Every structure is written in structure tokens, then in C-alpha cells.
With several copies, the nearest count.
Chain A
Amino acid sequence: MSTALDVTPSEMMTVTASRALNNRTTCFVGIGLPSEAANLARLTHAPETVLIYESGTLQTRPDVLPLSIGDGELCETALTTVAVPEMFRYWLQGGRVDVGFLGTAQIDKYANLNTTLIGDYREPKVRLPGGGGAPEIATNSKEVFVMVKHSRRTFVEAVDFVTTLGFGRDGTARDNVHPETARHLGKGPTRVITDLCVMRPDPETRELIVTELHPGVTREAVIEATGWPVRFAESVGTTPAPSAEEIEVLRALKARTERHHAGEATEQERAS
């Protein structure tokens, strides 16, 4: 059945990312793609996944995807909403987050993320929004999932700026830290989910290697879209195709979201 579905690469990515979240995982959700995947997980196989957004909304269950990290929907459907300092101090830094789920503008071989700029810091070619919550999400969550579309512009040999630590410039930045730091520093990015494949860090070198290809995607396509000589795992699997239910739920979620955010601040919304 599911193989007959006409699934876009973007949907494939979202479904694969959503499956990475287990039920009852506490997930600190970045806006955009991670939010889409995390909510799909909650609406399908992982109904008790706990979603946390940096706006302070704890255990939220939005009916539509938020446009921003602080949409009212997130607060209205949350168990409770705490102040932003408490969110970062008690809930993230306090070690309560299982998975930090991030997007990025650039990612390199050692899973370092750049959302700061392209070029030189003082004379940037492109100025990006900056780190936001990511630098500490990536180091205070028990592990990190990264979700990003695959392109040579995005997957670079070395990021222009390490906004957010993956495994450092040489892959060793999470090793040999002070024991107290080690107790809090998570495993880092354990999966990178793209629209072409899934990558995981090599257990030895921490270099990202391809461990699964999405159905129909060739090695060549991944090599072409990756800015370093990408390696493949000894045994590369094929990502399971999305189920009809997953695609249906995802499309309904996106349609609801589209309708919700498209409107002006209508009377109907004011009344709700």
C-alpha cells in the first residue's frame, strides 16, 4: 500500500524524522521542519511525546503548526507556560530534555551547525538570524537530531562559523571534558535526517556518514548534494516508506496550518 503513495522528498524527510522520536520522549523543538516532524510524531505513533518550545511552553499539543516559536496556540495547549529564563535554566540546562531537535542553515562533516552567517563575521556575505536557543539545546539535551534539506550549499566540509556544536572542528570536542561537564553534555547529533537520507556520526571519528537512503535515492544523488567526500556505512539500509496514515496526517496538519496562518486576524480567530 504505502509504496504506491506519491510521497515528496520533503514528506519523506518529515516522516523519517518523526519516526526518530519515541513515545514519551521529551523533545525540545526548534521551529520549522523539526516542529513539523515532532508534531507528526505526536499525532501518529508517539502520542505522549512531550514537546517543549523555547517560548516557555511545556508539554504543548498544538492543533496547527506554529509560525513562530511563541504562537498563542503553543501556550493554549500547553500543560503550563514558564518564563523563558526558567525554560532555559531548569528545563533545558537542568537536564530534562531527551532530544534537542534542530534545523540549520549549514552543517559540516562533524555535524557542527551554522546559523550565524556566511563569510566572515565582521564582513558577512549573508547574515543569518543567529544562534537563538540552538547552542545550548545542542549541548544540554541528551542527544540531538538535525533535520535539514540536502544541498551542497548546506552540507559543507567545514561551516563558516560554529554557532552550535556538533563534534567540533576535528570531531573530538565532546571528549575529554571535565567530569562534571561530561555529566551534562549530551551525546550530540546522533542523526541527521535530510530529504535524501539519514546520516549518523561514525562511532570512531564522528564524521557524518550515510546509514540509510530514502527509497529511490541513489548514492550519487547524496554525493552530489554533499560538500565533502561523503562516506557510506558498510551496510546502508533503505528508509522505510511512509505509511498512508502518516502521509494523511501530515498533509492534514499542513493544510490546517496553512489555513490558520493565511488568514488575517479574522473575527473568527478573535472569538476563538
Chain B
Amino acid sequence: MAEFLSLQEAVSRFVSDGATVAMEGFTHLIPFAAGHEVIRQKKRDLTLIRMTPDLIYDQLIGMGCASKLIFSWGGNPGVGSLHRLRDAVEKHYPVPLTIVEHSHAAMACAYEAGAAGLPFAVLRGFIGSDLPKVNDQIKSITCPFTGEELAAVPSIRPDVSIVHAQKADRHGNVLIEGIVGVQKEAVLAATHSIVTVEEVVDELGAGPNACVLPEWAISAISVVPMGAAPSYTHGYYPRDNTFYRRWDAIARDRDTFADWMTQHVLNADAQGASQ
């Protein structure tokens, strides 16, 4: 049953130290504002799950919020490395970070299985890859009909999933449009969910088969205009590619990063935090 809460209240209520948290959005609709609020509330020891960690997790990791990362592609798309992620993995700065590494297909299937209430996902995956050698969560399973061996991974079932969407109606039903990624699965797989939206409207104006999350499948909704910036919200604002490029220099150096975060996140309020 969705409650409309301030972002501060939503994060405070549903994100605990030590929690397993998925913030999803596949390039599109990345919940930056919510990530910043998690940083401001100094959450610690989080297990962060995300197919493509992106800048949002570079920031959370760089600020010491995470002790574990489950992911499948960790980079700044089209730009380069995530320097804070690398510093945590390679130099254990600011705190050690354990990584659990999958492929996109495996994580997508693991979210799907989580949403479907299953304990594991089956995929035709990891054939010939070294990933199963370094991730003991990748096992194999035998088809009971053909005898074929396939890959199995545990389903993803976060304590809380956080996503951003275009809009909610006044009841709290949410419309997600465009590149919908794994957001529906992330929300349905989780015990709790926070959805930030650009705006609240009287009518969603959705087509008959639109991707709508009913309010009874959501824990909290926070209205956060520009809540996905510097990523983008289809129909609202474009991706700030320049910022994505600039991030490389900001994140490369520990102090530059710390200064930027202090100025743009720690000293910002919940609504104005998205860089």
C-alpha cells in the first residue's frame, strides 16, 4: 500500500544499515536523488545490487555506504571506469568492498525469478566463462527432461528496491515508460520499495498494456522532480552527457570527489540534491 512520503522519510524508514538494496534503472530513470538521500543519511554496510553500477553507485561506494556489490557491468558508459568503485575494489578505500559478479543475462533472470517468487533462476548462460570460477553463486542444474546442464543463480530478493518513474496517480499507481529495464522486477522482488516520481497526476493516461506498478505493490512514493538527473526521464529531460563525462575527472581523485560530494550532496537538501 503506497504511502506518499518525503524522500527523507522514505529512505529513513525503509533503508537500514546492513540492508540489501537494489537501485535500478538501465541508463534511463536512475534514482540519483534517492541515492543521494541514502548518502546524506550515512547508511553503512549496505549490499548494493545493480546490473550497471553507474555514477550512482560510484558515489555511494565512494562515500563508504557499501560493503558488498552485486553487479554485471561497472563502468561510466561511453566514458570509462568508475574510479570510486575501482578504488574500493583495488585499494579498499574508503572501506573494503566485496564484489559478486554476474552477467547481465544472469542478473536479469535473477530479478525475474525474484519477482516470480522463485528461489533461483535458470539460464543458458556462462558457457565457457571464468565467471563461475570466481562467483560461487553460479551453479549448474540439470534439465529433468533432456539431461542438459544449464546455469542456475539465486534469485535477487532485496530488502528494498528503489526506482524512479515518470508519474504516479493520486492513489499511488505508477507509470514507467520507455526503457523500463528491470525496474518492475526489482520492485516486485523486494520486501519494500521506494519509487520516486517526477510528478503526481490525476490520470496516468496509460495504454491497456502499459508498465504500471499498482500502489499495493509499492511501499512509498516520493515526488522528486528531476529525481533521475544526471540520467534522464523519457518525456521529461534528457541525459546530461556532459556531466557523465565530467564525472571522470571528479571521481578520479579522492579529495576532488569528497569536495564535490560535500558541496552537491551532503550540503544539499533532499529535493535539490541531484547534482
Contacts and interface: CB of A to CB of B under 8 A. Distances in A.
Contacts of A128: 75
Given A70-B28, A262-B241, 7 more contacts: A68-B77, A69-B27, A83-B182, A88-B123, A90-B116, A90-B184, A136-B103
A85 interface: yes
Interface in B120-166: 123-131, 134, 143, 146-149
Contact of B149 (A69, A178, A265): A178
17 contacts: A67-B241, A69-B27, A72-B234, A72-B239, A83-B181, A83-B182, A85-B109, A85-B111, A89-B112, A90-B184, A127-B81, A133-B73, A136-B103, A174-B128, A178-B148, A180-B148, A270-B237
A242 interface: no
A130 B238 contact: no
Contacts of A88: 104-105, 108-109, 123
B118 interface: yes
Given A72-B234, A96-B217, A140-B117, A161 B240 contact: no
Interface stretch (A3-11, A51-59, A197-205, A218-226): A51-59
B94 interface: no
A44 to B, nearest CB: 20
A75 interface: yes
Contacts of A135: 103, 105, 125-127, 129, 131
A26 interface: yes
B77 A31 contact: yes
A31 B79 CA distance: 11
B116 A181 contact: no
B73 A129 contact: yes
A211 interface: no
Contacts of B211: 80, 83
B179 interface: yes
Contacts of B117: 89, 93-95, 140, 184
Contacts of A93: 105, 116-118, 123-125
Given A132-B72, A136-B125, A75 B89 contact: no
Interface of B: 1, 26-28, 51-52, 71-75, 77-78, 81, 85-86, 89-90, 101-106, 108-109, 111-112, 115-119, 123-131, 134, 143, 146-149, 173, 178-182, 184-185, 188-189, 206, 208-212, 214, 216-217, 232, 234, 237-242, 244
B16 to A, nearest CB: 20
B124 A139 contact: yes
B129 A72 contact: no
A55 B105 contact: no
A269 B233 CA distance: 13
B109 A89 contact: yes
B184 to A, nearest CB: 7
A71 interface: yes
Among B28, B208, B244, find the residue whose CB has the most chain A CB atoms closer than 10 A: B28
A96 B117 CA distance: 10
B173 A79 contact: yes
Interface of A: 24, 26, 31-32, 50, 54-59, 66-72, 74-76, 78-85, 87-90, 92-96, 112, 116, 121, 124, 127-136, 139-140, 161-165, 168, 173-174, 178, 180-181, 184-185, 261-265, 269-270
A264 B101 contact: no
Contacts of A55: 26-28, 179, 181
A180 B239 contact: no
B86 A57 contact: no
B73 A130 contact: yes
Nearest to B112: A85
Contacts of B189: 94
Contacts of A161: 130
B195 to A, nearest CB: 15
B178 A164 contact: no
B27 A71 contact: yes
Nearest to B169: A79
Contact of B184 (A70, A83, A164, A185): A83
B83 to A, nearest CB: 10
A184 B86 CA distance: 36
Contacts of B104: 54, 84, 88, 131-133, 136
B130 to A, nearest CB: 4
Contacts of B180: 56, 81-84
Among A67, A89, A168, A174, find the residue whose CB has the most chain B CB atoms closer than 10 A: A89
Among B105, B108, B112, find the residue whose CB has the most chain A CB atoms closer than 10 A: B105
A130 B74 contact: yes
B178 A129 contact: no
A206 B124 CA distance: 23
Contacts of A71: 27, 239
B213 to A, nearest CB: 9
Nearest to A70: B27
